[in-house]
Amino acid sequence: MDTQASADGLGNLIQVLKQPRVLSCAQCQKRKVKCDRCSPCSNCVKAEVLCTPSTPAPARKRRATKQDLLERVERCEALLKGYAPVVDRLQTPSSSNHVPDDPPGASFEPSSSAQELNASYITTRNDGSVRFTDSFGTVVMHEELVAIQNSIKSDDSADDGPIESTYESPYKTLPITEFETSASDTPDTQPGPVETMNLWEHFLERVNPLTKIVHVPTLEPYVMRAAVGMHLVPIEYQALLYSIYAMAVISMSEKECFDFLGHSRDTMLKHYGGSTKRALMKYNHRENYTMITLQTLILYLLTLEDRIHRHASWVTSGIVVRMAYSMGYHRDGECLGLGTFETEMRRRIWCQIIIQDAKNALLSGLSAAMLPMQWDTKPPLNINDADMSPSSDSPIVSREGPTEMAYVLVARLIYAYKIDCDNHIDTPTNEAILLGMSLTNDENTDRAVFGKFREQSEELRRALESYTAKYIGDGAGKVHVAATILKTTILEKLDDVLSPIKEQEEWGIEIFNWKDNLFKMIILSMEYQCNAHDKMAAVGFEWYMRLQFYPDMLASLTSQLYRRPVGSLSDRGWRAVERLHGHYPELFDMSQRQQLMQAQFTLKAWEARKIAVAQRGGSLETPAYIVQLGQALSEMEAQKAGKPIDWNALWTDLQPFGDGLNSFMSEEFVQMSDGPSARGHGLV
């Protein structure tokens, strides 16, 4: 009986719960008054208006049960199992699709020699942070920098107090992290109509030919609107235009910037760089991944290349790579069913991203093998901007003659070669063998590695020669001159690198081992840098060569010149140092920590050279740039506060890696004895 009553009560409760909920009428909801929920309600009767029942909200979806969730997890696991063969292939060293080969003798359980090699490449900086490199040349260069640093520190301890730089780097953290802060209320620096057109013309003439990541006919209307007022342009295009203005400033000389904009380059770069970041924040670029966002970030990071450490450039370019990867730029637009215009623009952007990342990896002492290992995005077509339009779906046919894409396509071939080498050659071992040193202790293995590198180099030579014969025109414009300069410089470098150490003309005279050969390679690199700088400056692309300057290479050269004060190679090295100081006026700016350290490197090496020549009965006339460096350091010394410089903090900012490489290098390598002070007044 009690059971029956309980059942009846439960049934009645269920019926009550099933009854539809009575809502307030529409008029009461609108007037925000309490409704008695009758039909009609008393409020509507009193107001003599039609009482209309309100529409109930749609029923919520039933929450998935635990069983439903388990079934979904099982389906996901089944899908993942289907991808297992792909993962296996990616992890198999024998794969031929963008997967690096294992070094000779490598295994999952390294031998003692492999353990020593690994230990030598994982280094600890003075601040305790760990840095990795897989470049043999970078390891050697680091030893050079550490040696001369110690020598300068020992000299300074005997002086009345070293010079201290008052400069604090604006990029102690990664520049991309500045985007993570909230947008500032600082007003953007909007150029006037005349300034806008000047900046746009500089970009078109000097920057766009070497990057080609924007479609000029599509972007130009936005430039015209921005000349009237930036508020007329969508926020994502504001970010892109500000990055274009910043790149235009990068392409100007100091005098040009004052003439056109009335301010220094540094001032305008801060203004337009800050405006770029604020526009990106307003657009919420961290969530709104678009083609415009990628174009903006590529250009913005280019403006930072000569103002931040190379390793930071590599890290930040990696962020852009992952953004593009998440947007599917590693897949060709044809595979994704995209239109012809979007497909071609994605190819151009992906090409530039890969070029920048591979270049930053190379200058950071890392291989480009860390790029996403599989992509099928095709190279950009050899066409002009006028050959494609966003409104056209017609197939785009590549041209047979010269086009605007000349430089980009030559650069793509070169960096594709670099990536392929990193993926299929044991880079550290190969670099050592090319210098004349063996890490394998096996002459046959050395010859095989050397032969493989020579084969790949010959493939690059044939590809470049074939491309330039088809697409580079002698009178086709400045960008074709730049493309020819790039091709010629790379091929000449390869010829020098591939020349065996015992076939060098200095062999047995000034070159006796791989360390001597390294000295010559550094000199050659600086000579090629200077020659290319002169040629590129003649066609308006000097800014690009400024971004290619690698200060650590100059520091390594001067440390070698300290140890080798006389000789034909030393003479060539000092001529290169003089030319570099003529090309890069920032080397005289002692407010910059790296320039301060480099100036002390240079003056110390020059004083050693003067003493060595005097001991041989000769004399040297002090070059103008040495006098200028000495004066700049004297001025800094007069301004110092009397406290010693924090060498640990200074060196931590400068060094790409840290101590801990002596296990790899021999003990006698670059042992620099105490020498005369680089700041002695006898210099001038």
* pLDDT tens, position by position, 461-480: 898 998 888 888 877 889 99
Does pLDDT of 66 surpass 70?
Answer: no
Residue 20 forms part of a structural domain = no
Structure tokens at 600: 């002390």
Q: Which of 289-298, 379-388, 425-434, 535-544 has the lowest mean pLDDT?
A: 425-434
Please name which of 594, 647, 603 lies closest in space to residue 150, comparing C-alpha atoms.
647
Matching residue, tokens 């700016």: 589
pLDDT tier for residue 158 given thresholds of 50, 70 and 90: very low
Does pLDDT of 61 surpass 70?
Answer: no
497 and 542 fall within a common domain: no
503 and 519 fall within a common domain: no
The phi and psi torsions of 636 (rounded to 5 degrees) equal: -65, -40
Question: Could you read off the pLDDT of 99-129 as tens digits, one per residue?
Answer: 333 333 322 222 333 333 333 343 434 444 3
Residue 461 forms part of a structural domain = yes
Q: Is 194 exposed, middle or buried (0-12, 13-18, 19+ CB in 10 A)?
A: exposed
pLDDT tier for residue 94 given thresholds of 50, 70 and 90: very low
CA distance 518 to 136: 11
Whether the bond into 40 is cis, omega within 30 of 0: yes
433 and 312 fall within a common domain: yes
Q: Which one of 182-186, 410-414, 436-440 scores highest in mean pLDDT?
A: 410-414
Higher pLDDT, 343 or 97: 343
Question: Could you read off the pLDDT of 417-460 as tens digits, one per residue?
Answer: 887 777 766 666 677 777 777 666 677 777 777 777 788 888 88
503 and 552 fall within a common domain: no
502 and 363 fall within a common domain: yes
Residue 94 forms part of a structural domain = no
pLDDT tier for residue 597 given thresholds of 50, 70 and 90: confident
Which letter, b or e, does each residue of 522-543 get, where b requires 16 or more Cβ atoms within 10 Å of its Cβ?
A: bbbbbbbbbbbbebbbebbbbb
Per DSSP, the three-state class of 56 is coil
Q: Give the dihedral sign, CA 199/204/210/215.
A: positive
pLDDT for 178? 45
pLDDT for 161? 43
Residue 673 forms part of a structural domain = no
In contact, 357 and 321? CB cutoff 8 Å? yes
Does pLDDT of 287 surpass 70?
Answer: yes
In contact, 218 and 386? CB cutoff 8 Å? no
Return mean pLDDT, the chain: 75
Residue 128 forms part of a structural domain = no
In contact, 610 and 677? CB cutoff 8 Å? no
305 and 368 fall within a common domain: yes
**Residues β-bridged to residue 631:** none
Residue 281 forms part of a structural domain = yes
The phi and psi torsions of 95 (rounded to 5 degrees) equal: -65, 145
Q: Which residue segment(s) compose the domain that 547 sits in?
A: 508-643
**Domain closes at, from 447, 479, 507:** 507
Does pLDDT of 52 surpass 80?
Answer: yes
517 and 503 fall within a common domain: no
pLDDT tier for residue 65 given thresholds of 50, 70 and 90: low
Per DSSP, the three-state class of 131 is strand
Q: 394: which DSSP letter?
A: S
Please name which of 288, 319, 291, 290 lies closest in space to residue 304, comparing C-alpha atoms.
319
CA distance 214 to 302: 15
CA distance 219 to 224: 9
**Residues β-bridged to residue 122:** 132
Rg (CA), the chain: 32
Q: Is 96 exposed, middle or buried (0-12, 13-18, 19+ CB in 10 A)?
A: exposed
301 and 342 fall within a common domain: yes
Give the number of domains in the chain.
2
Cα–Cα distances (Å) from 347 to 329, 352, 376, 382, 398, in that order, read: 8, 9, 10, 12, 14
Query: For 130-144, what is the mean pLDDT?
Result: 50
**Domain closes at, from 464, 483, 507:** 507
313 and 446 fall within a common domain: yes
pLDDT for 129? 39
pLDDT for 72? 63
**Domain closes at, from 468, 487, 507:** 507
In contact, 480 and 472? CB cutoff 8 Å? yes
CA distance 414 to 460: 7
* Number of other residues whose CB lies within 10 A of the CB of residue 133: 23
287 and 315 fall within a common domain: yes
Structure tokens at 569: 């190679």
275 and 318 fall within a common domain: yes
Phi-psi region of 377 (alpha: psi -120 to 50; beta: other; left: phi over 0): beta
Q: 204: which DSSP letter?
A: I
Which amino acid is it at 584?
Y
CA distance 151 to 159: 13
Query: For 207-225, what is the mean pLDDT?
Result: 95
Please name which of 520, 517, 620 lies closest in space to residue 573, comparing C-alpha atoms.
520
Q: Which of 22-26, 218-222, 349-353, 636-640 has the lowest mean pLDDT?
A: 636-640
Q: What angle do CA 612, 613, 616 make, to 5 degrees?
A: 95
560 and 618 fall within a common domain: yes
CA distance 628 to 585: 11
Element (H, E) at 249: helix 235-250
CA distance 644 to 160: 9
Single pTM value for the model: 0.69
Query: For 188-202, what is the mean pLDDT?
Result: 89
Residue 179 forms part of a structural domain = no
For the chain, the maximum distance between any two Cα atoms, rounded to a whole number of angstroms, is 128
pLDDT tier for residue 17 given thresholds of 50, 70 and 90: very low
pLDDT for 117? 32
Q: 368: which DSSP letter?
A: G
Q: What is the dihedral of CA 82, 86, 92, 95, to 10 degrees?
A: 150
Does pLDDT of 372 surpass 50?
Answer: yes
Residue 580 forms part of a structural domain = yes
